[in-house]
Amino acid sequence: MKDVATRAGVSISTVSLVLSGRHKGRVRDSVVDHVRDVADTLGYVPDLMARGLRTRQTHTIGLISDRVASIPFAGQMIGGAQHVAIDEEYLILMVDTDGDQRVVREALTMLLQRNVDALIYACEYHQVVVPPVVPDRVPLVILDGRPKDPSAPIDWIIPDERGGAAGAVSVLTDAGHRRIGFCTISRDLPARELRLQGYADALAAAGIPFDPTLVVEAAEAGTVHTLEPARALLDRPDRPTAVFCFGDRMANAVYHVAHERGLRIPEDLSVVGFDNQIDISEGLVPGLTTVQLPHRAMGELAAHLAIQRAGEDPHTERHPTEHIVPCPVVRRGSVAPPLSRVPAPPNPRTPDPELVS
């Protein structure tokens, strides 16, 4: 400020008024413009560390990422949080831990030593977590996860898995399908149970009885793991006319098996996925109708909440708060009305040689 004042030929107090935005009615407009031009020429930026000592706010948010930063699919959460932070003149300091708890502890210490105003703990996928222990003065937001202790006085953000699944299956029932298979996973994850509930919700809403034999499981959500369950489903003499898949990679497996069996999508078989992994959903032919995991919207909400909580009185009592973000259906070309009669599957064809898991 002294350098700016000397170059502009004004007092340091005038520079302070101009650069802090407190000049209205106190400094002539021509002087304001001149001071700003000089500050720009000298590359002046305010010392936020010094300001933070006075305001007790650093305008920084710590973000601890559990593999989110290294996975493009989930990385939109970081993009959304960053977008909001910049708009609100906040800086995000991010550390990706790659699932290493030692790194989590060290990152947490370093971020707290830098007096971040709030913390976001971002998970790789919707899961139950034990949140890191932070001082009461620092608000904590869990992104794409829920705390193991639901009474914890923090905010957590999760996608509407159940509503998204119900919306996906409703696309099929609205098209006239009555026999709808479900390819899911056997792993015990919140999304597994919630998407199964959404599947059942949509069937019930359409007056279709739940048939457990139409639900098949794979050990993992990958394409290779789903091939055998998909074959078991499509080789039935009363095979379903449509299949809802836990994830887009599983839907990719259903496409491959349908091709093996000589079934056309969507004429002979309709398919709907979940996640909207663009490289899969837009790469398949026809394009895959699927459900959007709202990663960017979740990241934006996390930043908004972190900034909002940081601005509250630190002595304000905090309460456990769950925030559920809608999962919209993205329609492409993989759904059509069912044929009037479902033929038995023909002899299997040779599988595609370039199958990618």
Weakest mean pLDDT among 49-58, 112-121, 158-167: 49-58
Average pLDDT taken over every residue of the chain: 89
Closest CA to 133 of 105, 97, 114, 98: 105
H or E segment at 272?
A: strand 270-272
Residue 157 burial class via C-beta count within 10 angstroms: exposed 0-12, middle 13-18, buried 19 and up: buried
Percent of the chain with pLDDT over 70: 90
* pLDDT higher than threshold 80 for residue 44: yes
> Looking at residues 263-277, what average pLDDT do you find?
96
Question: Which has more pLDDT, 40 or 194?
Answer: 194
Three-state DSSP at 168 gives: helix
β 155-159/118-129 pair status: unpaired
Query: Does the N-terminal peptide bond of residue 328 adopt cis geometry, omega within 30 degrees of 0?
Result: no
Q: Which residues contact 344 (CB under 8 A, 6 or more apart)?
A: 237
pLDDT at 349: 46
- CA-nearest of 205, 212, 244, 237 to 341 is 237
Q: What is the mean pLDDT of residues 7-27?
A: 88
pLDDT of residue 353: 39
At residue 51 the predicted structure's pLDDT band, cuts being 50, 70 and 90, is low
Q: How confident is the model at residue 136 (pLDDT cuts 50, 70, 90)?
A: confident
pLDDT tens-digit readout, 147-186: 999 999 999 999 999 999 999 999 999 999 999 999 999 9
Q: For residue 68, which of 102, 91, 98 has the smallest C-alpha distance?
A: 98
CB-based contact 199:169 (threshold 8 Å): yes
pTM: 0.81
CA 128 to chain centre: 15
Put the strands of the sheet holding 215-218 in their side by side order. Answer: 215-218, 180-185, 242-245, 270-272
